[in-house]
Structure 1
Amino acid sequence: MFDWLDRPNPPPCDHSHRLTTEYLRDRALPTEPTLGWLKANGGYCDCEVMFNVTDKWGERIGWEPANEDEDA
């Protein structure tokens, strides 16, 4: 989800969870509990999910986002 939100040329943030909700629903993932956890960890909109929650999620499950420098 974090990589998808951080993709090249995403639509501008409209200060909602529209894109996060779309991602979760398209994959039949639990929307409300996930949004609740994201909000509780600083993700009050799509862009804040990317900027505030990515590291917390990684710490929780042992995931690290791709290092953009490694792709260069």
Structure 2
Amino acid sequence: MILPPGAYKKIYCSWDICDYGWIHTWEDYWNECQELHQEAIERGWGYYMDLDEDKEYRWWLKHYKNK
């Protein structure tokens, strides 16, 4: 059965609709970035990668904070 667009609003309560499944704080995200970068260096992949805190913060704002 194919429903018309917007029909989910009539079937499901609007307060049960969730656009995201998790929230990362900046500190958690930055610690994870540092761990992944260190692991990449240990495996030989990260020597050419630069870990820039400002760039990562802007990415975190775009994808987590300002979503």
TM-score, normalised on structure 1?
Answer: 0.29
TM-score, normalised on structure 2?
Answer: 0.30
Q: Which has the larger radius of gyration?
A: 2
